[in-house]
């Protein structure tokens, strides 16, 4: 049985924090996305949009970070199980990367909609 199964909540939070820490150390794109997320929080604090916009931006941002972490996990698992280059493995990795791209484009769309909303308020 996995070390993470049926553990107390605090232990599972430590496992998740360890995964986030690893992703931040090893993935340049995750570092960039977390930096953008921090900047977005600063912008939201300055512009003070309605709570719905906070929710949309935070949800979209969380989706991008989660997609990147899933992509990282999948790549590491694939590289461990099948270290050789293989056309079918490449498709799996490319699809995982595409999922991050799709989520990122969705988040950018939320940001663009927020910008339009804020410009109309002026």
Calpha distance 70→64 (Å, rounded):
10
* CATH among 3.40.470.10, 1.20.1300.10, 2.60.40.10, 1.10.287.3610 for 9-121: 1.10.287.3610
Q: Which residues, other chains included, contact 71 with Cβ-Cβ below 8 Å and sequence gap of 6+?
A: 96, 97, 99, 100
Compute the distance between CA of residue 110 and CA of residue 116 in angstroms, rounded to an integer: 10
Please tell me the pTM assigned to this model.
Answer: 0.89
Q: Report whether pLDDT(18) > 70.
A: yes
Question: Poorest-confidence range of 6-10, 65-69, 101-105?
Answer: 6-10
Each domain of the chain, given as residue ranges in start order, spans: 9-121
pLDDT score of 13 more than 60: yes
The four Cα atoms 26, 76, 16, 106 give a dihedral, to 10 degrees, of 80
* Span 52-72, pLDDT tens digits: 999 999 999 999 999 999 999
Token couple for 75:
């790549």
Helix (H, G, I), strand (E, B) or coil at 8: coil
In which element (H, E) is residue 77 found? helix 51-81
Q: How confident is the model at residue 2 (pLDDT cuts 50, 70, 90)?
A: low
């Amino acid at each position: 049985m996995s070390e993470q199964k049926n553990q107390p909540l605090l232990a599972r939070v430590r496992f998740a924090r360890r995964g986030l820490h690893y992703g931040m150390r090893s993935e340049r794109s995750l570092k960039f996305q977390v930096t953008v997320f921090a900047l977005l929080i600063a912008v939201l604090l300055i512009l003070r949009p309605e709570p719905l916009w906070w929710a949309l931006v935070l949800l979209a941002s969380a989706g991008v970070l989660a997609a990147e972490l899933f992509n990282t996990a999948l790549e590491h698992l694939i590289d461990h199980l099948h270290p050789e280059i293989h056309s079918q493995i490449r498709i799996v990795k490319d699809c995982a990367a595409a999922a991050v791209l799709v989520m990122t484009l969705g988040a950018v769309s939320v940001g663009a909609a927020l910008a339009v909303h804020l410009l109309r308020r002026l």
